[in-house]
Structure 1
Amino acid sequence: MSILEKILTLFRGAATEAGQAVVDRNATRILDQEIRDAQGDSLRAKEDLTRMMAQQKLASDKLDAKRAKKAEYESHIGRLLGQGDQALARDVAAKVAQLEGEIAAEEKTLTTTKAAVDKLHGSIKTADRRIDSLQQQVDQVKANESVLRAQSAISARHSGQNAKLRTALDSLERVKTQQAERAAQIEAADALALSDGDGDLEARLAAAGVTPGQVSADAVLARYQKTEVVQHPREQLEAPQGEGSPLPATHERAKV
């Protein structure tokens, strides 16, 4: 195969694929148009059937008239033979023979027409049933397509919302990380400031209660203990004491 033939084959293949893609994208439109075409054909077939049925009726009426005329002529033949008019009876018999030939031919034609009418009528009914079934299937396909479009839209919106939420969560995590880094930097700066100056020493002196203006917990506790020791012996002095009773050692310490 030459290069030109391969290129032409490639173009034909691309055209086929493009055409198939167009058909797939417009499948429902094509089905709708095919249904309309089938309905148009069915309508024309019904019109033809109507004409054929009209012709059948006319042929049947004409055949009935000839049958009636034949019966009438046959009755004339009997009377003429009874009167002895042989010649006229013969002419009437010839007319009856002509009518019988026409009736036979028309009966054959009418039978053929009736068969054609019945066949066409059955074909139209079958075609209508198929058209109705196809229309129902197309309607179902359209409904399914609508549902799929709605589901796709919802899914797309849901995916978009999830993406936005993920972006927001990522931003929140970055903000938290930045805040944690800033807090750590501040703590490190405070620790560095204390280690460089007298801040750490002053804090330890304040905790020991030796810094002016600062009172330790031990100092406060000692003051309360001294007050309690002083007040308790006074209560003992006010109570009656026996002669020669020595003063309590705690009172002596308080007066010193």
Structure 2
Amino acid sequence: MSIWGKLFSAVKGHVNTAAENIQDSNLMVILEQEIREAKEAIAKAKDERARMTANRVLKERSVAELESEVHRRTDAARTAKSTGDEVLAVEIIESILKLKEKSISEQDLADQYKATEEKMDASIRQSQSRIENLNRKIESAKATEALIHAQKASSTSTVASNGKLASAVDSLDRLEQRQAHQQAMLEAAEQEARVDSGADLEEKIKRLERPGQGDVQKLLEAL
């Protein structure tokens, strides 16, 4: 299978969803390796195209030189004929025919090289476009993968945070209940101590002797 065949077999279905391409942890490695191989193939194709270009230039240069020689010998044949040397004129014309035949052959080769160049240019452009497109898809898949990992991490952190928060709230409720219970026990113990010491009774007697300044009714009755 060609490089492009393997490459696009590997990414079959990629356009449907980027998530499908990141399920296999080895897929990205395979794709990147295929792209490297494709780039190497393109580099070799460019070298071959350069060779075709060089050959075409050489053939076109040969054709130009042959045509120039044809013109020079044609002038020479006219001169030989005008001077009455028809034997020389015929000999020159025969050489001209051979030069033209060679020129046509060289031009045919130049045309073939040019056609090959054009086909290779089109193929290289298409291959480069495919690689660029595939690189965009891979970058998109990588970004999607990173986003999915981030979302998973965020979701896990949120769940863990919520769990810790709920546990902390429960602990705080238990602490408050324990503190309220302890406070009630202290107040009861203090009250019991006051009763045992008589302080509670003495407090009641003092309130009878000196009504509270804020008790307006009692102050009124004391007048």
Normalised to the residue count of structure 1, the TM-score between the two structures is 0.60
Displacement, 1:56? 0.7
Cα separation, partners in 2 of 1:99 and 1:177, compared to 1, 3 Å: same
Alpha-carbon deviations, 1:120-161, whole Å to 9, x = none?
011111211221222222223223333333333232222221
Q: How do 1:25-104 residues align onto structure 2 when only pairs under 5 Å count?
A: 25-104=25-104
Cα separation, partners in 2 of 1:32 and 1:117, compared to 1, 3 Å: same
**Counterparts of 1:213 and 1:111, CA distance in 2:** 126
**Counterparts of 1:132 and 1:139, CA distance in 2:** 11
Displacement, 1:27? 2.5
Structure with bigger RCO (C-alpha 8 Å, 6+ apart): 2
Displacement, 1:31? 2.3
Alpha-carbon deviations, 1:175-197, whole Å to 9, x = none?
4555677789x6xx99xxx9xxx
**Counterparts of 1:177 and 1:96, CA distance in 2:** 120
Identical aligned pairs, as a percentage?
A: 27
Q: How do 1:211-226 residues align onto structure 2 when only pairs under 5 Å count?
A: none
Displacement, 1:43? 1.1
Cα separation, partners in 2 of 1:212 and 1:96, compared to 1, 3 Å: closer
**Counterparts of 2:209 and 2:176, CA distance in 1:** 46
Opposite residue 120 of structure 1, the aligned amino acid is: M
| Counterpart position of 1:122 | 122
SS at match of 2:37: helix
Residue 153 (str. 1) matches residue 171 (str. 2): no
Displacement, 1:65? 0.6
Residue 24 (str. 1) matches residue 24 (str. 2): yes
**Counterparts of 1:156 and 1:72, CA distance in 2:** 89
Residue 141 (str. 1) matches residue 141 (str. 2): yes
Cα separation, partners in 2 of 1:219 and 1:130, compared to 1, 3 Å: closer
**Counterparts of 2:57 and 2:204, CA distance in 1:** 132
Alpha-carbon deviations, 1:20-43, whole Å to 9, x = none?
999811222222222222211111
Displacement, 1:118? 0.8
**Counterparts of 2:52 and 2:202, CA distance in 1:** 130
Displacement, 1:171? 2.6
Residues 73 and 96, structure 2, Cα contact 8 Å, conserved in 1: yes
Residues 57 and 110, structure 2, Cα contact 8 Å, conserved in 1: no
Cα separation, partners in 2 of 1:57 and 1:145, compared to 1, 3 Å: same
**Counterparts of 1:42 and 1:174, CA distance in 2:** 73
Normalised to the residue count of structure 2, the TM-score between the two structures is 0.68
**Counterparts of 1:213 and 1:145, CA distance in 2:** 77
Opposite residue 147 of structure 2, the aligned amino acid is: V
Cα separation, partners in 2 of 1:212 and 1:157, compared to 1, 3 Å: closer
What is the number of equivalent residue pairs in this alignment? 188
**Counterparts of 2:134 and 2:21, CA distance in 1:** 22
RMSD: 3.8
**Counterparts of 1:162 and 1:93, CA distance in 2:** 102
Opposite residue 83 of structure 1, the aligned amino acid is: T
SS at match of 1:24: coil
**Counterparts of 1:213 and 1:99, CA distance in 2:** 143
Opposite residue 158 of structure 2, the aligned amino acid is: H
SS at match of 2:24: helix
| Counterpart position of 1:108 | 108
**Counterparts of 1:213 and 1:164, CA distance in 2:** 50
**Counterparts of 2:124 and 2:64, CA distance in 1:** 29
**Counterparts of 2:123 and 2:39, CA distance in 1:** 13
